[in-house]
Homo-oligomer: A and B are copies of this chain.
Amino acid sequence: MSRTDEVINSIKRMILEGAFRPGDRLPVEKDLAESLGVSRGSLREGISALSILGVVNTRQGDGTYVTDLDVGQLLAPLGFVVDLEGRGDARHVHAVRRLLECEAARLAAGRITDSALAEARALLDEATRIMSQAPQDHERIIEIDIQFHRIIAAHTGNPVLVGLIEAFAGRTVRGRLWRSLHEEGADRRTHEEHLAIWKALAAHDPERARIRMANHLIGVEESLAGPPS
């Protein structure tokens, strides 16, 4: 195992064992390198990797800190995997996304708050307005779509699920998806499906919310796969 790997595993282990807690500041490079028995260069390679993974966060002139180890942040590197896998055939990625989001809808139906429902409703109403205008702000429509799904995920009560959904239905994926289905009526159909999901959530009906979400995502997948034969 390389020195760099040793650095990474040592720091990971120390975090897992509680030697470093979220928000803690790591020893300065010189000291940490010395205590691990490696040069500053090797230490920096390890720190760099941990920084990419979202485990630590370095600030020039200040120091290196353990992040709050938020699941969403730690799952962010997944985005690259999703992008990579979704380059050609995105079916597998979308199958997983559908699984995750359907469960999210089911869970959210039982826990979503009135204020979150109102917030989601406001988004959908804004989409209604935009679609009645002549030059449609498509980017804003995409943004509303992301926000709507994000509100649902946020009310599942499961942060791990939230992180995964964010990675699997994040900006890159969604953007590419939407731009690829500029077909006639896609915006309007999607909007109506969102309304159906909202109604199920407002009724706090888990099974109905799950089915509405499944129907919505299957529609998206079919648009992606091409016109039905």
Contact = CB atoms under 8 A, between A and B. Distances in A.
Interface residues of A, number: 40
A96 interface: yes
Contacts of A78: 75, 78
This chain's copy number in the assembly = 2
A12 interface: yes
A123 interface: no
A93 B162 CA distance: 11
A185 to B, nearest CB: 30
Nearest to A99: B103
Given A15-B84, A48-B46, A92 B158 contact: yes
Interface string A73-84: 011011011011
Contact of A74 (B12, B81, B99): B81
20 contacts: A12-B80, A16-B84, A16-B87, A44-B45, A45-B45, A45-B48, A45-B49, A48-B48, A49-B52, A55-B80, A71-B81, A74-B80, A74-B84, A75-B78, A81-B163, A92-B158, A92-B159, A96-B161, A96-B164, A99-B100
Interface of A: 4, 8, 12, 15-16, 41, 44-46, 48-49, 51-53, 55, 69, 71, 74-75, 77-78, 80-81, 83-85, 87, 92-93, 95-96, 99-100, 103, 158-161, 163-164
